[in-house]
Amino acid sequence: MRYSTLAEVYEELEKTSKRLEKTRIVSKLLKKASDEELQMVMLLLEGRIYPAWDRREAGVATQMMLKAISHAVGTGINDVQAEWKMTGDLGKVSENLISKKKQATLRREELDVAKVFSNLRRLNEISGNGSVDRKIQLIAELLSSASPNEARYITRTVLQQMRVGIGAGTLRDAIVHAFIEEPNQNRRIAEQVQEAYDLTSDFGEVAKAIKSGGIKGIESIKLSIGNPIKVMLALKVDTIEEGFEKAGRPMQAEYKMDGFRVQIHKKDEDITVFTRRLENVTKQFPEIAEYAKKHVNGEEFILDAEAAGYDPKSKKYLPFQSISQRIKRKYDIERMATQFPVEVNVFDVIWHNGKNMISEPFRNRRKLIERIVEDRERKIRPSKKIVTDNDKEIEEFFREAKEMGNEGLMFKNLDAPYKPGARVGHMLKYKKTMENLDLAIVKAEWGEGKRSMWLSSYTIACRKGNKLLEVGKVSTGLKEKPEEGLSFDEMTKMLKPLIIGEEGKTAIVKPEIVIEVGYEEIQKSPTYESGFALRFPRIITMRQDKGIEDISSMEMVEQYYNEQKKTKK
Ligand code: AMP
């Protein structure tokens, strides 16, 4: 297949926002692709050269791309840069410059999909001395053979900025339209295709199986160790009764740890660790691989688990934020592992020694976990659980879970299978976290040490009529690095012009900024004029959409306080 055919499809996709139209365009393309091309086309449509869960990438940054374009068109880098400043889109820059050049030269060589694809993948394989130059050379060659609009999409693919607006739903439907003939059963078939995708996270593989064997071909799709599968998701319940209603009586309750989800694969002595979004984080968490090797019995397995951070000195569990910085870390990995270690709590098993456990009832999967996962405190262990039909026991267990620093409980249906990618009632979360409050910042304190440049702790107030009453101080929730979200720096810039007075290190500010604040509990407190204080408050977000008249009222705070007393009893 010519690459120009694909480039035309990208163009058509960009022109329409209608899902059905997109499905039609893609399914037409899929029908044209040969068996070998199908997988490449599926990936390229998403603007990828590797599946989402695969860590490999072209590894080409903007500066390198600028140079490659400059090589390909024989224009100085400054001119390319100037063009880029004007359009803000390197894809367009390639297209424009190639188009100018093409008018002056002879007809190019035709590019086909397989060639573009394999050259893009070669980018990942180039390493070592002189690799930057060799990469630039390779891209420049591709661009030189490309037509202007092909150049636009090659550039975007290399930079991982495809943005033609095509989602997983469209790809799935397009596969059905392209290869299945009984349109009446399309809905059930779409579900089956989705299930196959949830197992493999790879549309290419799914499309290939259906093309060769029709809907029956899907049955050949097997879970494969080393490729992550979509994780089963949880529904929320508000009461314990609702938990029993949905999960059955008796049910299993487990601590809901405030960590992050990991899927651990073992095959041929190799361990791979994926996050819930199927990113490979094996390197970032060397201790997880170590524990899985040493303390889990089995030649091969896939486990579903929560990695919870803890304080290496006190051994107490820490909230998710404390380990979140490890997930994307590229350097200092060992130091981070000692400073912010995790404990792996295994709560499900998907595969073990050649046996697919997905359809086994949860009680059997749990039995297996207890057989194969050793209980090693602060390393790896089966998740903490009870099985009961008694509401009181659950309540007691919930209290214990909270005291230990957990978010709450998970309820599990003992008879249910594992459903990849699905938010079904087989797994329920019960957190009882309180309703967030919208509060005004009335004072702000200058920080210490590296935070001394910032107003970093904020006194917050609710409203009683026209008066503002303080309900506590909050200093968590904001980021030190602006690229990670709402930052101290940003907040300081907003607050500074509002300063109307000073009390030592504390600035009194005109109450204009409204923030949404989460917390664990409301307590009675003589410290603040409202008579209440928030326990473990944290800033959730700025409420630019709210003014001072919209903040939570004193009555609301009292009402939440009373409700929480009731549910505690
Ligand atoms: P949520 O993210 O609020 O939807 O809650 C579900 C998440 O809780 C899961 O994706 C896991 O990351 C996490 N979790 C913590 N402990 C457990 C457990 N024992 N069983 C299942 N999930 C758990």
Which among 325, 348, 498 has a CA at the least distance from the CA of 414? Answer: 348
- The answer to whether 551 touches 462, Cβ cutoff 8 Å, is yes
Tell me the average pLDDT across 3-9.
97
231 CA: nearest ligand 1 atom: 10
Would the pTM of this model clear 0.75, i.e. be above it? Answer: no
Q: Indicate whether 206 pLDDT > 50.
A: yes
- The answer to whether 438 touches 515, Cβ cutoff 8 Å, is yes
Q: Dump pLDDT digits (tens) for 412-442.
A: 999 999 999 888 889 999 987 667 899 999 9
| Between 188 and 13, residue with greater pLDDT | 13
Q: Indicate whether 175 pLDDT > 90.
A: yes
Q: Which residues are catalytic?
A: 256
Tell me the average pLDDT across 388-417.
93
| Between 194 and 410, residue with greater pLDDT | 410
d(CA 458, CA 506): 9
345 CA: nearest ligand 1 atom: 19
Tell me the average pLDDT across 229-247.
91
Cβ(307) to ligand 1 under 6 A?
Answer: no
Cβ(407) to ligand 1 under 6 A?
Answer: no
Tell me the average pLDDT across 481-506.
89
Element (H, E) at 270: strand 270-275
Cβ(257) to ligand 1 under 6 A?
Answer: yes
Q: Dump pLDDT digits (tens) for 356-390.
A: 899 899 999 999 999 999 999 999 999 999 999 99
Q: Which residue's CA is minimally distant from atom 6 of ligand 1?
A: 234
Other Cβ atoms less than 10 A from the Cβ of 89: the count is 17
Of 2.40.50.140, 3.40.50.170, 3.40.50.300, 3.40.190.10, which CATH number belongs to 437-568?
A: 2.40.50.140
Q: Dump pLDDT digits (tens) for 107-151.
A: 567 899 999 999 999 999 998 899 999 999 999 999 999 999 999
d(CA 156, CA 150): 10
Cβ(53) to ligand 1 under 6 A?
Answer: no
Running DSSP on this structure, what letter comes out for residue 434? P
Going across the sheet that includes 251-256, the strands are 233-236, 423-430, 408-412, 251-256, 385-388
Cβ(254) to ligand 1 under 6 A?
Answer: yes
Query: Taking the alpha carbons of 356, 360, 362, 368 in that order, is the dihedral positive or negative?
Result: negative
Which among 350, 208, 278 has a CA at the least distance from the CA of 50? Answer: 278
Running DSSP on this structure, what letter comes out for residue 46? T
Cβ(275) to ligand 1 under 6 A?
Answer: no
236 CA: nearest ligand 1 atom: 4
233 CA: nearest ligand 1 atom: 10
- Confidence at 13, pLDDT banded by 50, 70, 90: very high
Q: Which residue's CA is minimally distant from atom 3 of ligand 1?
A: 429
Of all residues in the chain, the percent with pLDDT exceeding 90 is 63
SS (H, E, C) 180-234: CCCHHHHHHHHHHHHHHHHHHCCHHHHHHHHHHHHHHHHHHCCCCCCCCCCCCEE
d(CA 318, CA 341): 10
User: Which pLDDT value is given to residue 565?
Assistant: 66
Q: Which residue's CA is minimally distant from atom 11 of ligand 1?
A: 261
Q: Which residue's CA is minimally distant from atom 16 of ligand 1?
A: 256
Cβ(206) to ligand 1 under 6 A?
Answer: no
d(CA 552, CA 537): 15
Q: Which of the listed residues 380, 429, 433 should we mutate to test ligand 1's pocket, taking the one with most ligand atoms within 8 A of CB?
A: 429
Contacts of 75 (CB under 8 A, 6+ apart): 69, 97
Q: Indicate whether 176 pLDDT > 80.
A: yes
Q: Dump pLDDT digits (tens) for 44-73.
A: 999 999 987 777 888 888 889 999 999 999
Please provide the average confidence, as pLDDT, over all residues in the chain.
Answer: 90
Q: What is the CA radius of gyration of the chain?
A: 28
d(CA 438, CA 474): 13
**Angle of helix 131-145 versus helix 113-125 axis, rounded to 10:** 170
Of all residues in the chain, the percent with pLDDT exceeding 70 is 97
Third-level CATH fold of 3-159 = DNA ligase i, domain 1 (1.10.3260)
Tell me the average pLDDT across 523-528.
93
Cβ(366) to ligand 1 under 6 A?
Answer: no
Q: Which CATH architecture best describes the domain 233-430?
A: 2-Layer Sandwich (3.30)
Q: Dump pLDDT digits (tens) for 282-315.
A: 999 999 999 999 999 999 999 999 999 999 999 8
User: Which pLDDT value is given to residue 199?
Assistant: 86
User: Which pLDDT value is given to residue 569?
Assistant: 41
261 CA: nearest ligand 1 atom: 12
What are the domain boundaries of the chain?
Answer: 3-159, 233-430, 437-568
d(CA 473, CA 467): 18
Q: Which residue's CA is minimally distant from atom 9 of ligand 1?
A: 261
Q: Indicate whether 163 pLDDT > 90.
A: no
Q: Which residue's CA is minimally distant from atom 14 of ligand 1?
A: 256
Q: Which of the listed residues 237, 410, 418 should we mutate to test ligand 1's pocket, taking the one with most ligand atoms within 8 A of CB?
A: 410
Cβ(234) to ligand 1 under 6 A?
Answer: yes
Of the listed ranges 229-233, 302-306, 481-485, the least confidently predicted one is 481-485
